[in-house]
Chains A and B, each alone.
Chain A
Amino acid sequence: MPRFSLDSDVKVLLPDGRTRPLTAYLIPSFLLMLGGLLLIVSIFVPYWSMTMFAPQYPRGLKVNVYVNQLEGDVREIDSLNHYLGMPPLDEGGQLERSISVAAIVALGLLLLAGVFVHNKWAAVLALPALLFPFIFLVDLAFILYQYGHSIDPQSPLGGAIEPFMPPLFGEGMVGQFRTIASAEIGLYLAFVAVFVILLGLWFHRAAYKPVVDARTAVSGSQL
């Protein structure tokens, strides 16, 4: 069986005449592209979920939040929330959901561009992808806060429930409902992508800094 390996004679020639193995340049490219791929894949899985339990809902009511959609018992939660005059779940984060897919694809393309930018600007190109999961969480917290503070005092039960902050992670209690919020696979993928991109940038620096340094040294000696 033929072994898969790189020919050790194929090397990268530095401006100062030194050579480095090709793998040193393939690894960062691969990792940055992998980071982008993970983000793209995360579009198709939920990022966050909220499950509500009450005596009359023994199986619970669950909403899965994707970057671009809500899925699950949205209708039932909406019909319960109308007692508090809260807006339908679908109204939260509409702008974010409408642009999320394009935005993530753009993040992926920026990472891909980072593969071909062989200096420190690659880190700048990767920065939006690194920030993405944090932006998601901050935005989610903002939406949840707004949501919990949109109780209509004119609604049937509006006077009975104080405005509240739904949990971002963990457990909360609203009326007879115990709410459990948790991260889902998409958010994990996004954080793994952050780790992979950071690793990629580290290798990127390890690969291209010698090139930049060698070029500087060569041009300096020529002057």
Chain B
Amino acid sequence: MEIFLSRKSLPIWLLTTVVLAGILLVSCRNNNQPAASSGVSGLPADAAALATARGLTPDDIYGALKTYMPTGQHDPYIMISSGGQSGQVYVIGVPSMRLLKAIGVFTPEPWQGYGYGGHGDKVLAGGFVDGKPILWGDTHHPSISETNGEYDGQFAFINDKANARIAVIDLRDFETKQIIKTPNAINDHGGAFVTPNTEYVIEGPQYAAPLGFEYAPLEEYAEKYRALITFWKFDRVAGRIDQSRSFQIELPPYWQDLCDAGKKVSDGWVFCNSFNTELATGGIELGNPPFEAGTARNDTDYLHIINWKKAEEIFQSGNYEMMGGIAVIRLQTAIDEGLLYFTPEPKSPHGADVTPGGEYIVVGGKLDPHVTVYSFEKIMAAIAKGGHETDQYGVPVLPLDATMEAQVELGLGPLHTVYDNKGYAYTSLFLDSAVARWTLGGPYANLNPDEPWSLIQKLPVHYNIGHITAVEGDTASPGGEFVVALSKWSIDRFANIGPLMPQNFQLVDISGTGAQMRLLYDMPIGVGEPHYAQIIRADRLKPWQVYPEIGWDPGTMAPHPNAITSSEQARVERNGNHVEIWMTVVRSHFYPERVEIKQGDHVTWHLTSLERTPDATHGFAISGYNINLSLEPGETQTIEFVADRSGTFTYYCTEFCSALHLEMLGYMLVEP
């Protein structure tokens, strides 16, 4: 028994000794460290000297330490940003604020070979307007797919305000998979926003037009012009929007702006604001009030309250009209079935932003120094009470005092609001050029020491902040580390590079409570004017490093029917004047390296990358034929063209792939 005990206790002694030795070692190291450093604020001597030489303040040093990402370390957050007129979407690491990728969406993008002969051409063609090629877009509001009101990191959606289109980006390979033109509408704004389980991608309207944007004089504005909110059904398995299961609701021509889907307690509803209940039609040159004044005449506009779950039932029951290939629930149906309600909101608002638990909707006044907070519970009570006055189109208007929970005075130009996990809301103040931190009340009041429904801090940003975004700040479970101010003007923040100046993404530290927000870092955006962005925890994303197998078609996200897996299968076949080529691509050669065709041949060319190594990407360009592909490891693409010009052409790898990259080419001889 004694022997047994001592045997058992021996390892414990050993362990204790090891742990003690470890502690001693660690403490020795700690003791050594101060000896190696000296001087200002505990920085190593050389760093302190550097800080002094550059005139960096302790705040600057804090910002640097908070954002610096050593080589090989990854950002814990990824920002998916709209790209404005570039028609792209940007992927940015946070907090380092490094651009990781610019995804071609509505605009051809040569690096990704998007729109230069490959499958991207088909995606872009999905967004042509009545067959007219539209090869740019004005991307505004990205929306990451959600499950239970939280980002699930599977897909992202983005709208094109200029032409009323929606795009689907698959976050397995960060490529655009679908562009779909919104029927009956010519522009949009309130999209993309997803419902809490991505049942629908919501695309809200903006400038009204007759349905189908047919011609009608502006004198007939009130009678003929309408708005449409589109509920795009998203098929997660296919990774595509399914137009046959989508529907639109006709709305009065009030220039709806931004929307947000209710969540948790308010799941099933969507909220959109509007800014032209005046029905202004412009005509400054005719002596009419210009739009900027005409739309701001009334003290209030209408917050739209839409019951999408009930609308879905109405759609499924068949109570709609097919117009332009999509089901449209007419305005009168929406009124009769109780799908649509209004409540007044401060005039010309931006942002209608639902709190994490879905209890409140916050509307920024833009021309009013307040944010107005609506209670979902009160809205429901007011709807249940009934007997409301209606607007000129017959939509019930719930009185403001029956729906409002609070108003908080923040400053000038409140636009858009996001949230954190400490009970704070963050609102961009366009005119004040500031980020306002203020407290929510109700269930959020106990999450911080501050007084509910009150302004806590205004942090100056540079300049003219539009949207604002926070770590998962528009979801059911916001983070609490960072806010990014999406500032429209940079004026003097960066070196002058001419009159068209970059936008300024400004990283703000919100980890503390109270008035402790700190500006950390400025990131210039010199490729477009982004609007909204979302920040997702990087660990929610599960992107591929290489495609799942050799012969993968990113266009269909499935094996490509014309993939080949070795150069032995590579070949050229002629059938009449149709030439079909199966080619392999691997470091550092194409197989075959000679393609001889005749002028007028119709050429179908399948290219398969045999690579399996991360980052071993090849390009494929045919000089003089406007063709350029990016072939990532395992990818197969097909190009088709008519060899309309005879001559000697080269095809070569456009992505520096290997030491013998320059040697990776072939000749395409087109015999006259």
Contact = CB atoms under 8 A, between A and B. Distances in A.
Q: Specify whether A and B are partners.
A: yes
A76 B612 contact: yes
A26 to B, nearest CB: 31
A76 B546 CA distance: 13
A156 B588 contact: yes
A79 B663 contact: no
A156 B612 contact: no
B660 A83 contact: yes
Contact of B663 (A76, A80, A156): A156
A157 B587 CA distance: 13
A79 B550 CA distance: 14
A18 interface: no
Nearest to B615: A56
A149 interface: no
Contacts of B660: 83, 156
A75 interface: yes
Residue picked from B587, B613, B660, most chain A C-beta under 10 Å: B613
Contacts of B436: none
Interface residues of A, number: 8
B610 interface: yes
A108 to B, nearest CB: 37
A207 B612 CA distance: 58
Given A83-B660, A156-B660, A156-B663, A76 B588 contact: no
Contacts of B611: 79
B593 to A, nearest CB: 13
Contacts of A75: 610, 612
B471 to A, nearest CB: 29
A62 to B, nearest CB: 13
B547 to A, nearest CB: 14
B586 interface: yes
Nearest to B660: A156
A169 to B, nearest CB: 27
Interface in A151-202: 156-157
Majority SS at the chain B contact face: loop
B613 to A, nearest CB: 5
Interface string B605-634: 000001111000000000000000000000
A83 B659 CA distance: 10
Contacts of B659: 157
Contacts of B663: 156
A157 B659 CA distance: 10
Contacts of A156: 588, 660, 663
A89 B659 CA distance: 22
Contacts of A157: 659
Contacts of B612: 75-76
Contacts of B586: 79
A204 B192 CA distance: 80
A157 B660 CA distance: 9
A123 to B, nearest CB: 41
A57 B613 CA distance: 9
Interface string B425-451: 000000000000000000000000000
Interface hub of A75, A80, A157 (most chain B Cβ within 10 A): A75
Contacts of A57: 613
A72 to B, nearest CB: 11
Nearest to B663: A156
Contacts of B613: 57, 76
A57 B660 CA distance: 18
Nearest to B610: A79
A178 to B, nearest CB: 18
A43 to B, nearest CB: 27
Interface string B657-672: 0011001000000000
Nearest to A175: B659
A157 B663 CA distance: 12
Contacts of A79: 586-587, 610-611
Interface in A36-86: 57, 75-76, 79-80, 83
Nearest to B586: A79
A79 B586 CA distance: 8
Contacts of A76: 612-613
B163 to A, nearest CB: 43
Contacts of B610: 75, 79
A181 B612 CA distance: 23
A156 to B, nearest CB: 6
Interface string A71-115: 000011001100100000000000000000000000000000000
A79 to B, nearest CB: 6
Nearest to B72: A58
A80 B468 CA distance: 48
Nearest to A75: B612
A180 B64 CA distance: 40
A172 B240 CA distance: 51
Nearest to B613: A76
A157 to B, nearest CB: 8
Interface in B564-592: 586-588
Nearest to B550: A75
B615 to A, nearest CB: 8
A149 B612 CA distance: 27
Among the interface residues A79, A80, A156, which one has the most CB atoms of the partner chain B within 10 A? Answer: A79
B321 to A, nearest CB: 57
A61 to B, nearest CB: 9
Nearest to A61: B613
Nearest to A156: B660
Nearest to A56: B615
Contacts of A83: 588, 660
Nearest to A57: B613
A156 B661 CA distance: 12
A151 to B, nearest CB: 16
Nearest to A76: B613
Interface string B49-65: 00000000000000000
A57 B586 CA distance: 17
5 contacts: A75-B612, A79-B586, A79-B610, A80-B587, A156-B660
Given A57-B613, A75-B612, A76-B613, 8 more contacts: A75-B610, A79-B586, A79-B587, A79-B610, A80-B587, A83-B588, A156-B660, A156-B663
5 closest A-B pairs by CB: A76-B613, A75-B612, A156-B660, A79-B586, A79-B587
